[in-house]
Each structure stands twice: as C-alpha cells, then as structure tokens.
Structure 1
Amino acid sequence: MRLAIATLLVLFLFSCEKKTEIEINSVEITPVFIDSLSIRAIQPLDENRVWFAADKGKVGLIDGDTPKLAIIKYGDSLLHFRSIAATKEAVFVLSISNPAVLYKIGFNGTEATNIEEVYNEKGEKVFYDSMKFWNENEGIAIGDPVEDCMSIIITRDGGNTWEKLPCDNLPKVERGEAAFAASNSNIAIFGDNAWVATGGRKSRVMHTGDKGKTWEVFDTPIVQGKAMTGIYSIDFRDEQHGIIFGGNWENKSFNEGNKAITKNGGKTWKLIANGKEPGYRSSVKYIPGTEGQGIVAIGSPGISFSGDGGKNWKLLSKEGFFAIEFVNDSLAFASGNNRISKLIFRK
C-alpha cells in the first residue's frame, strides 16, 4: 500500500512539473514607422507607444500613428545609437563608438522635456553595445574591452551620473572576446541580477547578483572562435532560467551551437535544437506569462517560434528584423532596416 501511495505521489509530482506547450501559428506584421535608418534599439511603453534609437543621430517616440522625432548632434557629427533604456521619468540613449555619448531625455509621459549629456567616453577602442535598468535609480551599460575587461558603466542616481567600473573588479576577457551591438539585448536583468553575453573568439556569460558590485564568468557551448561568432542575445525569465542565442553572422544558416538554455542561473548551459533550425538570430525573448515555454527569436533571416521551451522551432515569417521587445503575451514591437513594426502573434 505504501509503495502504491509513493508511486502515485511521484506520478503526481511529475505531472505537476510538465508544462503546457504554447501554440502560435502565425504572426501579423504591421509597420508603424518607416525611415531610412538602421534601428537596433527599441523600448516599448505600451501597446501603442515605443521609443527607438537609431543611426544618423535619430531618436524618437512612435505614439500610435504619430512619430515624435529628434536628431541629436555631437558637434558636427550625427551619432549612431544602438542602446536605449527607460525609467518612468526619462529615456536614455547611448552611441556606439568614439566618442561614446550617453544622453538623458526627460519625459513627462507624453512629450520629451529636455536632453542632457550625462556620460562621455573617448578612445580608439570605445564601443558600447547595450543598456538596461534594474530599477528607477540603478542602470548598467556594456561596451567592448578598452583594456583587459569589458567596459561597464553604472548609474546609482537615476541616470544623472555614470561611473566606469575598474578592470580590477571585473573578469578578464580573453583575446578576441567582445560583444555585439546587434539588438540592445546582450544584457539580461532580473531582480538584482545582470547577465552579460560576450562573443567573438570567446563567447561567455558574465554575471552579477548584486547590481554590478561583484562579478563571475561562465563558459558556454555556443559557437565561437571567429570575429562574428558567439552569443548575440540573452534573456532570463527568473533568477535560474535563461536562454542565449546567436551563431555565425557570416554563415546565418549554420544552426549548430547557436542556442542554449540554463537552469542554474547561467553557471552551466545546455544546447537546444542543435543542428536544427533556426540558425543565426540577433534577438531572443521569452514570451511573457508562458513559464518559459514560449520563445521568439528574431533576426535578418526571419522570425522563429518555440512553444516547448526551445526544443522545437518553426519559422513564422521570413521578414527580417534586428530586435524584438514584448508588451504582453501576444504583442511585440520589432525593429530592423528602415522600419519599426508591430507584431501580433496568433494561435
């Protein structure tokens, strides 16, 4: 009798752990903004409003059918922005290369109120990739190595001032290790944690559990060894479960060693759908509210979806984008060459 009860208990626990597969059969793609820009950084506010930062110095808020645009000049130069982040009272945009300039744009809920330069870094090797905020006061931006560590700047006062962390406090990079400014998504934030994905000749995941005070670094099985190989995007749905995605930008159909998941906070990673589609993707996101079962990976080759946590994938569209950000479980914004589109995912 005891054996029967124990067996039933095991079966019950197993059935509780089994998650329902998410079903999505199509995606409806509606352009909401068209311009001759490369748009790799977007930040949705709700179903109708999305901030963006692009090349040619252009930053804007798409408010329904109304684009509210600004062109930011640094001297006589038009900066190239690939990082964006937002708090309740401001939006932050960061340019990629020398000089890297970070601007705070005041926002009253409907309109930009002022633009202020809050960080500036000059140097031949300076190149910033992405930016995120933990909360209203604390944020982080990631750049390629200038010395023997990744460039990391942090704010603790709502973005008014930023400080660069010394290499003595960070893991050392290996030769040829850097990051990709492909989609503003090589940082993932959850709670006090941040995970940073690197790529190139070495592709690893850096982790801090205390908002940037201390760091550790973990190896990954993602393809690496060349300048354009490695992790392009990372996302976490809680403190333990995350996904990395990338591949070889120079061989986008290559689908071995380009996607992996972790169940222990990034310490170890296991390849998923190895040798199966999709190949290279530049941005990956868990679909909100699906307990990690629903995942969308997006890139120039198209939009791919998994409803079973990454084991199996299907191509929803061959329309290419750089970045994706979800608003809810069925709506997202995506950006790419010359456009921002609204994506509606349907069963």
Structure 2
Amino acid sequence: MRRGGRTGLLVTAGVACAAALAALTVPAAQARPLGHGAGHEAVPGAGHRALHWAEKSSGTPQVRFRGLAAVDRDTAWLAGTGGTVLRTTNGGAAWRDVSPPGAADLEFRDVEAFDARRAVVLAIGEGEASRVYRTDDGGASWTESFRNTDPKAFYDCLAFFDRRHGLAMSDPVDGRFRILSTSDGGRSWRLLPTAGMPAALDGEAGFAASGQCLVTAGPKDVWLATGGGARARVLHSGDRGVTWTATDTPVLAGDPARGVFALAFRDRAHGIAAGGDYRPGQASPRSVAVTADGGRTWRSADTPPPAYRSGVAWLPHSRTAALAVGPTGTDLTTDGGRTWHTIDTGSYDTVDCAPGLGCWAAGEKGRVARLER
C-alpha cells in the first residue's frame, strides 16, 4: 500500500530513526556516498554519511521487478516479469516465491500489501492480460478478482486508501481514463462512471513503470500521472475517483516516451512528480516537479535529477527528504524536492518506504535492496 499521508503516525518509530534522518542535513563535503555493494559506482561528495542501499539477493536474475510494496524493514513484496511474486519477512535475507499458479505468461507491474499475509497484485496488458489477484495467506493461495474483458483497456496501476478501499486505473478508453473501484480490499471491483473524468489528450496514457502512476494520501485523495501527450499532466480526485481535475506539469513531455512516470505524496498537499524520457541516452531536463497545494499547481525542481527517473518515495518521518530512482541511479533531496543530488548509480525501477526507515528499491536482473544506516 502506498504510504503517502501516513508518515508521522508511528511516533515511536519516528523517534527511533530521527537521528539517522537528521544526518541527511550534513553538508555534502562531510558526506559519504550512498552507493554500496556490487553494481554501484559511488558518487564522491554527493551522498549521505549513514544511509546506503544494501543489496539483497532475490535469486531471480531473470526477473525485472517494477512492483514493490514495503510493509516494514522486515517485510516486503515484489512483483515482476514472468508472473513472479516474491515475499520476504526477514529483511531480505531470504525470499519466498509466492507467484500465483498459472501466471507465468503475465507481467506483474504493481503490488499493494497490507501486511505480511494480505496483498493485491496487478498484471498489465491489453484485454485479458490485465488482471488482479489477491492473497490472504502470504501467497500460499491466490484468488483472481478481476480480469479485463475490454480489448481497448490496458490497466497500469493500483492504489489503496486503506485496507478496504482502493482503485485501479486503465489507459484511456473512448477518450477517458478508466477507473475501477473496490470497497472490500480488492476481492471485487466495479467500474466507475467516466462522467467526472476529463478528456484525455491525444496519445495520453499512464506508464506501468513502477506501480506509482496512481497514488493516494488520506481517506479520499488520489492522483493519476500521465505521459505520451503534448503535456505531462497529473489528475486529482478528492472523492475516491468519482470526479477529477487535470493540471499540467512542467515535466518533459511531447513524445510517447515522455511524461510523469511516478508520484509520491507525503500528505494531501505535498507531492513529487518524477519522470522524463525513458529511452536510454536521451536527455531528461525537467525530470521532477513539486507541488505544495495538492497538485493544483506544479513547479520544476531547481536542480532536478540528471536523467529519467521512474520511481519516487518520501523518507518516513521526514517532511523534506525523498528518493528518486531510475535505470541510471538514485537521487536524494533534503529540501522537499527543490534540489536533487545523485548518490548512487545502481539501476532501480521502483522505490517504496514504510515507517521505521523501511525503504526498499527493486529493478532489473532481480535486483532488490533495503536502505540501511
């Protein structure tokens, strides 16, 4: 489950990690690089003296993980290619393959977990390739709760407001984004009316890159990220997806490979949009934008990440620190998204954080890591 808006709720955990987060404010000249472990190239003077990615072997080098759900520092879920779902309950020391039976031909791109036993995963694709599964026993068994029957629909992301209420979004069908709703934790889904959805731009769609094109904060607010059109937009709903407003962002747009790929909100007001141009070697100026009014207006980062970023997450119990990840590295902000510094050059597609500094990242070649201090 995305945790925007839930930071600060666990006061005890917040006190426990306050010292580590305070170290984020040290000057760069005193800092040590975040880069750590095989496959990482440290960036001198750009990191944080205490925090670093510690790689955890998933044992699945053939899988690319774009779906990630951080429950806490011990428990996380991964969803990826080949119908693969993994779960750890011991901090990544071991991963259990809990993939749904018969799903080897599916592409899982999002997973939303409520705890170590209950999770919902989304498979993407045209027509019946888009499906939703739910488990209540840690992946020992799964129930298929939705299978798309409209050949024009292509579902990209899931997001939950709480353990019962959630949404799934599809690329536009007949000129409007399509939204599914659940009120029983993903056990059943219904299609919401499209009357309250603004018309899509020509070529506009969502990106199933990190499970973060649809995110929530609080009991009713949800945001949807778009790309592929003339402008990169963020759509917002304050009534659980019934009515929406669309706002342009300054994130790079104007091409099918460009737009907003990921969103993160730490509360109903403060959010970060990350993206750019996902093609290797292509420049991605204006890769990050920030909002302080719930997405009504967006401002480009003064110093954005130097390249496309597909995932973004606020650090727990911090009002100003966040991480953005992509194929060429990880970037850190300590001022609410205005300035970013590359602190690791390992390839990750998605990042997610839970209270207590339970931050995880995942990506290609089975790569998964946990943030350590």
Question: Are 2:63 and 2:81, in contact at CA under 8 Å, matched by a contact in 1?
Answer: yes
Q: Is 1:245 the equivalent of 2:270?
A: no
* Structure 1 equivalent of residue 42 of structure 2: none
Q: Return the match for 1:63 from 80, 89, 92.
A: 89
Kindly tell me the number of residue pairs found equivalent between the two proteins.
322
Distance apart, 1:78 and its partner CA? 1.8
Aligned-pair CA distance for 1:334: 0.8
Between stretches 30-39 and 85-94, larger displacement belongs to: 85-94
**TM, length-normalised to structure 1:** 0.86
User: Counterparts of 1:79 and 1:332 in 2: how far apart (Å)?
Assistant: 27
> Does residue 267 of structure 1 match 2:296?
yes
Q: TM-score, normalised by structure 2?
A: 0.80
Structure number, greater radius of gyration:
1
Residues 333 and 340 in structure 1, CA contact (< 8 A), matched pair in contact too: no
| Change in CA separation of 1:252 and 1:168 when aligned onto 2, cut-off 3 Å | farther
Name the structure 2 match of 1:14: none
Aligned equivalent of 2:54, options 18, 23, 29: 29
Query: What is the 5 A alignment of 1:292-331?
Result: 293-328=320-355, 330-331=357-358
Give yes or no for the alignment of 1:106 onto 2:106: no
Q: 2:134 corresponds to which letter in structure 1?
A: K
Is residue 98–residue 140 contact of structure 2 (8 Å, CA) maintained in 1?
Answer: no
**Cα displacement string for residues 216-238 of structure 1 (whole angstroms, at most 9, x for unaligned residues):** 11111111110010101111111
Shift of 1:310: 2.3
Indicate yes or no: 2:218 matched with 1:218: no
Deviates more, 1:118-127 or 1:95-104: 118-127
Q: Is the partner of 1:289 in helix, strand or coil? A: coil
Q: Describe how 1:124-163 pairs up with structure 2 within 5 A.
A: 124-163=151-190
Report Cα offsets for 1:131-151 as digits up to 9, x if no partner. Answer: 111011101112211221112
Counterparts of 1:28 and 1:70, CA distance in 2: 25
CA distance in structure 2 between the aligned counterparts of 1:119 and 1:331, rounded to whole angstroms: 30
Q: Deviation of residue 66 (structure 1)?
A: 3.0
The DSSP-based 3-state class of the residue aligned with 1:150 is: strand
For the pair 1:115 / 2:139, whether they are aligned, the reply is no
Match of 1:203?
A: 232
Structure 1 unpaired stretches of 5+: 1-18
Distance 1:59 1:345, change over 3 A: closer
Which structure has the highest strand share of the two? 1
Residue number in structure 1 paired with 2:370? 343
- What is the alpha-carbon distance in structure 2 between the residues aligned to residue 29 and residue 20 of structure 1? 18
Higher relative contact order (CA 8 A, sep 6+): 2
Alignment identity in percent?
28
Distance 1:21 1:67, change over 3 A: closer
Determine whether 1:87 maps to 2:117. Answer: no
> Is the contact made by 1:72 and 1:78 (CA closer than 8 Å) also made in structure 2?
no
